[in-house]
Chain A
Amino acid sequence: MAECHPVGFQWVMEAKARGAKVIHIDPRFTRTSAVADQHVPLRAGSDIAFLGGIINYILSNEKYFRDYVVSYTNAATLVSEDFQDVDELDGLFSGYDPETGTYDPSSWAYQGHDDGSDGQTGRPTAPTSTGDDQSGQDSGSEPEGSAGGATIDDVGGEESADSEKDRGAGHELGGRGANLAHSKVARDETLQHPQTVFQVLKRHYARYTPEVVEQICGVPPEQFLQVCEDVTSNSGRDRTTAWVYSVGWTHHSTGVQYIRGSAIIQLLLGNMGRPGGGIMALRGHASIQGSTDIPTLFNILPGYLPVPSAGKHDTYADYIATIAKPGMKGFWTKADAYTASLLKAWWGDAATPENDFCFDYLPKLTGDHGTYQTVFDMVDGKIDGYFLLGQNPAVGSAHGKLQRLGLAKLKWLVVRDLQMIESATFWKDGPEIESGELKTEEIGTEVFFFPAATHTEKEGTFTQTQRMLQWRYKAVEPPGDARSELHFYYHLGRLLRERYAGSTDPKDRPLLDLTWDYPTHGETQDPDGDAILREVNGYYLTGEKAGQFLPGFVEMKADGSTSGGCWIYCGVYKDGVNQAARKKPGRDQNFVAPEWGWAWPMNRRTLYNRASADPEGRPWSEKKAYVWWDEEAQQWTGHDVPDFQLTKPPSYRPEEGASGPDGIAGDDPFIMQADGKGWLYAPTGLLDGPLPAHYEPAESPVDNPLYTQQGNPTRQVFKRKDNLQNPSKDEPGGDVFPYVFTTYRLTEHHTAGGMSRWLPYLSELQPEMFCEVSPELARERGLEHFGYATIVTARTAIEARVLVTDRVVPLKVGGTVIHQIGLPYHWGVGDDAVVSGDSANDLLGLSLDPNVHIQESKVASCDIQPGRRPTGEALLRYVEDYRSRAGITVETGNLRMTAPSDDRLEGAQQ
């Protein structure tokens, strides 16, 4: 965090000065480790084993926050008897289809009753007390349906009809979370029933002992147990622990499950929805949070509504029904209001209830259009044009060569950036020109370069990781032809609309009907950012309040009487005031500082903060009081805006069949979940399993000691000649790439260098590509400090200066010593920057997390040799030689399932 987010790290230093203990778990010893109380080096790609070890420690030592766990999580919920865990199936969950590499998650579901009539026979819906009436139950009692130790909770929702179709397409879920398969779930609040999530969790993680953690992560038990002690003793009624990760955690073929691992820990310890708790995701750039809220992603619409899919969502009713099922609980049931308001904001008067608010105008998904699939499509000549805005994929994206080969196949390319980045100049000075793979005169890509305005040269909001929008004003005019993104897109849209004006072709209606009437100002006709924010907030369109700003998303209507460009941002212009521009100093308000900027939703600074009070609505402790039920006023109150229906008392229990927000009980804090509970176990919604299990990275010199299944069996692979993978440990040729490398950032540079390698003041601070190696590896391979090294994978070889340092530590993993090589990824090959160099991302191949299509770029295998790499054609021969020595084919590392054994398959398919 100190390394990549030094400004935010000031608050960690402040916390440390006030007595907080800072633990840093990272393969390398960074500037964060330098000031942390404890640094724990672990093998890159082994984090789930580490997190699983903590979960096992918590469960086997009874360190969990029992009252919180029972009431606020799904620990007591019963899982289907059909569910089979990875231990039974040697690394696969039940439902695996080896043909498609996907799961049918139906066996992961909660136990319960599929239809209302059966539900009637169960116990009536809650109120369930906190389990007192069942505390005397035998732990081993077998339930029959709803009998035995289980109560039945109404969680709403019909049969999850789309679960089958959702397989292999996590991008179609949007951000709405997952529906539940059953309208009722069975619970045992004694947590004793063997099918409770709690017991499933316990069994699942029983194997993640400190010894196994050492065997997989290379972390000695003493170090590991120290972390366990510190984290658990600092959690509970009086204390909370926060987890902070940076996006490197997501850059794995099991990235989503990494985050799930820390979520399970935080739920078990009662650290969610409470002050000082939570999981902080540090994003890679300013306002990356904002660019998922109002997305630049192919699969979500503003506010995490999914992009409709062709064939599945051909009508508005179909689309809405997928997000908000009849009878479902929680706030997603209002998706029709959010969607109608969004479409009204986009298409104004043209959007009417009669034409489904122009739902037909929305483009529909026909499959994965994520960045890496798109690059392969570019290589295959399926893509004509490409826009790059503040992105330098020729350097910053995994498998740089593939990126550049793809760019070279385009007809046109628009690059909007501060500098003439490598992605704009690859056609004349890229590595493939030097190697002879590309010839400038044969590249047909027409590159349009537009200089961009920097953040000081334009107005708008940044949304940071706390979901807080902060307005910034333009300080200076951009120089020369540099313009804001707003300017570019507004005027592009304006010109296109002029071009199509008068068209009677129905396909042009979406463009011509757009509300595209933003005021502009200044010489450059820059659109008014404030006007955009007002549109995002939304208005009442009819009635006596017509024209007024909506105060919040609960006012949004499904009948077209409201508009709003992003439902979660509704309220940012409440009362006609730009709430994001508020800058009241912290000293003039309470510690939550609600009047600094504005956080979605509804200016809540901590999500699910109902969990900061006990089930009866009282603070868990005075020290950690945050939001509580005011008995006298009969409403929720506290330091933050309560994340709960304001007047819903803790004792509220939904009526039979209640749905939507009213279906959530007064003691269910996780109001966006269909059962109101924090999910220790995800019965649906994830493509690679309901619980995180340790899999080795796609390329690994280590065998998975837990299961025969080596890597994530559902990871997205691309079996192609231009995406060869290194063999892992047990495969033939696995010893050719014996080392692990990880890529990362340095404080001195920013990602692919567009904002730093062109600046002398930053370039001089880290002027050259280097690799960090341990003295032990230096000795093993004869690497000389200050000399050069060549690092090679199945993709290519790069060179780097050698920095030998004690900060890199070899780890004992399963009896062998594993060496890790650290590679900053800031440099790229080109002529325009102040400093250039080989790009670490060129070493990477593509294996993706199945849920989110994120690449595994934080760990892969390689070889390292002293000296500079060959150049020109010799480089290609050098890499080819490695490939043939390792016997690499397109199958190598690109098969999801390890050593298919009939037994495992049969079991998995049951």
Chain B
Amino acid sequence: MTNSFYGPLADPAGDAGWVDGDHQPRKGFFTDTSVCIGCKACEVACKEWNAVPDDGMNWLGSSYDNSGALGASTWRHVKFIEQPKPLGAQQAGMEGTAAGVSVTDVLNRAADSALAGDRSTLGSTNRVDLGMPTTTLPGQVDGAQRTEFRWLMESDVCKHCTHAACLDVCPTGSLFRTEFGTVVVQDDICNGCGYCVPACPFGVIDRRVGEKGVTKNEGIAQKCTLCYDRIGDGLQPACATACPTQSIQYGDVDELRERAQKRVDALHAAGVHDARLYGENGHDGVGGLGAFFLLLDEPEVYGLPPDPVVTTRDLPEMWRKAALAAVAMLAGAVAVFGAGERR
């Protein structure tokens, strides 16, 4: 079946019509968050290579994350997640110290709402009611001690979905499926309509905000191209090249999936039982991701949807229903007016 919107699909590039000599093995990222050290070299290398402008000098107070989210001017985004939970057998060194109750959950929530524009809860280490059924506020309990802690880091990126809704809804053909099975915006074709923005189940793609005539590609939808202009020349994407710990690995998706499975098995054997792959399964709601992840906990911990579904999944059904409705209407009209004519 060609031009499918949903379900497992072995060969997105072929499905998009790439044939013979042009067609390449599917390329993607395997981002292994278990070895990410949060250096952000990926963010910088991406901007350097792709000439992405800076995204503003905003201190977010969100751990060491001042990029905030993926967007038109942030194509790689390193998340920093502080949590009062253990990471495998890691000893965070807080046990037996004079530390009191953790505040990270409070701060995480404050940071989340601040990112969404509400800064009212930021000075929240003193008094914030989470609405939880506790008798004391977090950080206010005497005698209690925090014992566990982990600091997770994850370099997030466009997922290059097997079924990419952004591409499906693009009216200009600016977004297209490359011969490597990746999804790329052509900024000289995009008209800035913005249909793709709500279509993405991960909130990746966005239109660039800036000054008209000054900011490059102002108003144009932008996101990771998986360095289309590098991989065609046999180079790795800029972020993968810059990553010092091989947290970002680039290659054939099939091979990467095998590698990722081995890494998960190794982590499980080492006692990191929550380690899991995210987006490697072709049976999920987006047909699997070209850029998939090894996470150390539930996807929600990283701000990723637990069960992403391509927003155009129901498009064929909708069109079918729309067609049916049209046929029915036509039939009705024929019945009404046709009969009348005969009269």
Chain A residues within 8 Å of B, Cβ to Cβ: 2, 6-7, 9-10, 13, 17, 29, 31-41, 218, 220, 222-223, 226, 746-748, 760-768, 770, 774-776, 778-779, 782-787, 801-807, 809-812, 817, 834-835
B125 near A768 (CB under 8 angstroms)? no
B151 near A775 (CB under 8 angstroms)? no
- Contacting B98 at CB < 8 Å: which of A746, A763, A776, A784? A776
Q: Which residues of B contact A766 (CB under 8 A)?
A: 59, 64, 66
- Contacting A223 at CB < 8 Å: which of B59, B93, B139? B93
Which residues between 237 and 252 of chain B lie within 8 Å of chain A, taking CB atoms? 244-246
B59 near A804 (CB under 8 angstroms)? no
Q: Which residues of A contact B150 (CB under 8 A)?
A: 34
B67 shortest CB reach to chain A, Å: 7
* Overall SS of chain B's interface: loop
B73 shortest CB reach to chain A, Å: 9
B99 interface contact, C-beta 8 A: yes
Q: Which residues of A contact B47 (CB under 8 A)?
A: 761
Which residues between 88 and 128 of chain B lie within 8 Å of chain A, taking CB atoms? 89-104, 107, 110, 114, 119, 122-126
B93 near A785 (CB under 8 angstroms)? no
A787 to B151, CA, bound (A): 23
New contact pairs (5) apart from A10-B244, A13-B246, A40-B93, CB-CB < 8 Å: A13-B245, A33-B93, A34-B152, A762-B44, A767-B57
A122 to B122, CA, bound (A): 77
Question: 1/0 per residue B151-186: CB within 8 Å of A?
Answer: 111000000000000000000000000000000000
B61 near A785 (CB under 8 angstroms)? yes
B191 interface contact, C-beta 8 A: no
The interface size bin for chain B is 35 or more
B152 shortest CB reach to chain A, Å: 8
Q: Which residues of A contact B58 (CB under 8 A)?
A: 764, 767
B93 near A38 (CB under 8 angstroms)? yes
What are 22 A-B contacts defined by CB distance under 8 Å? A9-B244, A9-B245, A13-B245, A13-B246, A29-B92, A33-B151, A34-B153, A35-B35, A38-B93, A223-B91, A223-B96, A746-B64, A760-B54, A761-B43, A764-B67, A767-B59, A775-B139, A778-B125, A785-B107, A786-B119, A806-B104, A806-B149
Q: Which residues of A contact B99 (CB under 8 A)?
A: 774, 776, 806, 809-810
Given contacts A33-B151, A34-B153, A764-B56, contact A785 B123 (CB under 8 A): yes
B330 interface contact, C-beta 8 A: no
A748 to B63, CA, bound (A): 13
B146 interface contact, C-beta 8 A: yes
Chain B residue at minimum C-beta to C-beta distance from A767: B57
B103 near A804 (CB under 8 angstroms)? yes
A6 near B57 (CB under 8 angstroms)? no
User: Of residues B90, B93, B146, which shows the largest number of chain A Cβ atoms within 10 Å of its Cβ?
Assistant: B93
Please provide the 6 A-B residue pairs with the shortest distance between their CB atoms, ordered closest to farther. Answer: A784-B123, A220-B96, A786-B122, A760-B54, A767-B57, A768-B59
A6 near B41 (CB under 8 angstroms)? yes
A254 shortest CB reach to chain B, Å: 23
Q: Which residues of B contact A32 (CB under 8 A)?
A: 37
User: Of residues B61, B64, B153, which shows the largest number of chain A Cβ atoms within 10 Å of its Cβ?
Assistant: B64
Question: 1/0 per residue B66-82: CB within 8 Å of A?
Answer: 11000000000000001
B149 near A785 (CB under 8 angstroms)? no
B153 near A835 (CB under 8 angstroms)? no
B194 interface contact, C-beta 8 A: no
Given contacts A760-B54, A761-B54, contact A782 B126 (CB under 8 A): yes
Given contacts A39-B93, A775-B125, contact A763 B153 (CB under 8 A): no
Chain A residue at minimum C-beta to C-beta distance from B37: A2
Q: Which residues of B contact A17 (CB under 8 A)?
A: 35
A834 near B57 (CB under 8 angstroms)? yes
Q: Which residues of B contact A39 (CB under 8 A)?
A: 90-93
Chain B residue at minimum C-beta to C-beta distance from A819: B98
B103 shortest CB reach to chain A, Å: 4
Chain B residue at minimum C-beta to C-beta distance from A748: B40
A775 near B123 (CB under 8 angstroms)? no
- Contacting A764 at CB < 8 Å: which of B66, B123, B126? B66
B84 interface contact, C-beta 8 A: yes
B57 near A747 (CB under 8 angstroms)? no
B126 near A2 (CB under 8 angstroms)? no
B59 shortest CB reach to chain A, Å: 4
A767 near B119 (CB under 8 angstroms)? no
B38 interface contact, C-beta 8 A: yes
A776 near B40 (CB under 8 angstroms)? no
B153 near A31 (CB under 8 angstroms)? yes
A764 shortest CB reach to chain B, Å: 5
Chain A residue at minimum C-beta to C-beta distance from B35: A13
A805 near B107 (CB under 8 angstroms)? yes
Q: Which residues of A contact B92 (CB under 8 A)?
A: 29, 33, 39
A768 to B60, CA, bound (A): 10
A10 to B244, CA, bound (A): 6
A35 to B272, CA, bound (A): 12
A6 near B39 (CB under 8 angstroms)? yes
B55 interface contact, C-beta 8 A: yes
Given contacts A13-B245, A38-B93, A809-B99, contact A784 B59 (CB under 8 A): no
B43 near A765 (CB under 8 angstroms)? yes
User: Of residues B39, B41, B56, which shows the largest number of chain A Cβ atoms within 10 Å of its Cβ?
Assistant: B39
Chain A residue at minimum C-beta to C-beta distance from B97: A809
User: Of residues A223, A775, A779, A817, which shows the largest number of chain B Cβ atoms within 10 Å of its Cβ?
Assistant: A775
Which residues between 259 and 300 of chain B lie within 8 Å of chain A, taking CB atoms? none
Chain A residue at minimum C-beta to C-beta distance from B38: A31
B126 near A779 (CB under 8 angstroms)? yes
A735 to B296, CA, bound (A): 44
B48 interface contact, C-beta 8 A: yes
A446 shortest CB reach to chain B, Å: 33
A538 to B53, CA, bound (A): 49
B110 near A785 (CB under 8 angstroms)? yes
Q: Which residues of B contact A806 (CB under 8 A)?
A: 82, 84, 94, 99, 102-104, 146, 149
B119 near A809 (CB under 8 angstroms)? no
Q: Which residues of B contact A809 (CB under 8 A)?
A: 93-94, 97-99
A700 shortest CB reach to chain B, Å: 17
B61 near A803 (CB under 8 angstroms)? yes
Q: Which residues of B contact A787 (CB under 8 A)?
A: 122-123
Chain B residue at minimum C-beta to C-beta distance from A774: B99
A148 to B83, CA, bound (A): 63
A770 to B64, CA, bound (A): 11
Q: Which residues of A contact B102 (CB under 8 A)?
A: 775, 806
Given contacts A767-B66, A805-B63, A807-B82, contact A41 B124 (CB under 8 A): no
Q: Which residues of A contact B61 (CB under 8 A)?
A: 770, 785-786, 801-803
A7 to B40, CA, bound (A): 12
A767 to B104, CA, bound (A): 22
Chain A residue at minimum C-beta to C-beta distance from B150: A34
A746 to B78, CA, bound (A): 15
A856 to B300, CA, bound (A): 44
Chain A residue at minimum C-beta to C-beta distance from B100: A776
Q: Which residues of B contact A801 (CB under 8 A)?
A: 59, 61
Q: Which residues of A contact B245 (CB under 8 A)?
A: 6, 9-10, 13
- Contacting A786 at CB < 8 Å: which of B39, B54, B123, B151? B123
A774 to B149, CA, bound (A): 13
B98 near A812 (CB under 8 angstroms)? yes
User: Of residues B95, B123, B139, which shows the largest number of chain A Cβ atoms within 10 Å of its Cβ?
Assistant: B123
B97 near A218 (CB under 8 angstroms)? yes
A35 near B125 (CB under 8 angstroms)? no
Chain A residue at minimum C-beta to C-beta distance from B123: A784
- Contacting A226 at CB < 8 Å: which of B37, B91, B122? B91
Q: Which residues of A contact B48 (CB under 8 A)?
A: 761
Q: Which residues of A contact B244 (CB under 8 A)?
A: 6-7, 9-10
A785 to B105, CA, bound (A): 13
A218 to B95, CA, bound (A): 11
A559 shortest CB reach to chain B, Å: 50
A37 near B89 (CB under 8 angstroms)? yes
Q: Which residues of B contact A812 (CB under 8 A)?
A: 97-98
Q: Which residues of B contact A810 (CB under 8 A)?
A: 97-100
A805 near B82 (CB under 8 angstroms)? yes
